[in-house]
Amino acid sequence: MNEPEQNPRHKLNPLMLEMLVCPLTKTRLMLARDSDELISIAARLAFPITRDVPLLSLDEARTIEGDELERLSRHLR
Fold of 14-76: N-terminal domain of TfIIb (2.20.25)
How far apart (Å, rounded) are the C-alpha atoms in residues 64 and 32? 12
Q: Which is more confident, 52 or 27?
A: 27
% of the chain exceeding 90 in pLDDT:
49
Helix (H, G, I), strand (E, B) or coil at 49: strand
Pairing assessment for the beta strands 30-31 and 62-63 based on DSSP bridges? unpaired
Domain range summary for the chain, segments of one domain joined by +: 14-76
Q: DSSP code of 41?
A: T
pLDDT value at 57 more than 60: yes
8 A C-beta contact, residue 13 and residue 49: no
Task: Write the CB contacts of 42 (distance below 8 Å, at least 6 apart in sequence).
Answer: 22, 25, 27
pLDDT at 10 over 80: no
- Global pTM value: 0.79
Q: What is the pLDDT of residue 1?
A: 46
Encode pLDDT of 59-77 as tens digits. Answer: 999 999 989 888 877 765 4
